[in-house]
Amino acid sequence: MLKAVIIIAAVIFAVILVAVFASPIKLLFKFLFNTCLGFLMLWLIGKIGPLIGISLGFNLLNAVVIGILGLPGTALLLVLRWLCLT
């Protein structure tokens, strides 16, 4: 009987633990995935950019901005780059 109570308590504890940490872990994985997509977009801009006259640095800050903001982040970085060069 005592083993059954301990197993039930452990299962309840595990469910509560998963419920508490599921959202932050999901958010962390989404952020990491978007940052990887940001690096991919920077790599594409690095390959195609010289053909059309644009460039962005391939660094973590740019990847994070693009990862968080997506396509508007790319546009933001390109506009900031254009404003700094003019």
For the chain, the domain total comes to: 1
Q: How far apart are CA 8 and CA 18, in angstroms?
A: 15
Domain of residue 60 covers: 2-85
**Mean pLDDT for each 10-residue chunk of the chain (86 residues)?**
88 88 84 82 87 84 83 87 80
pTM greater than the 0.95 cutoff: no
The SS3 assignment for 51 reads helix
User: For position 86, what pLDDT does the model report?
Assistant: 57
What backbone torsions phi and psi does residue 76 show, to the nearest 5 degrees? -60, -45
Q: Looking at the chain, which runs of residues are DSSP E strands?
A: none
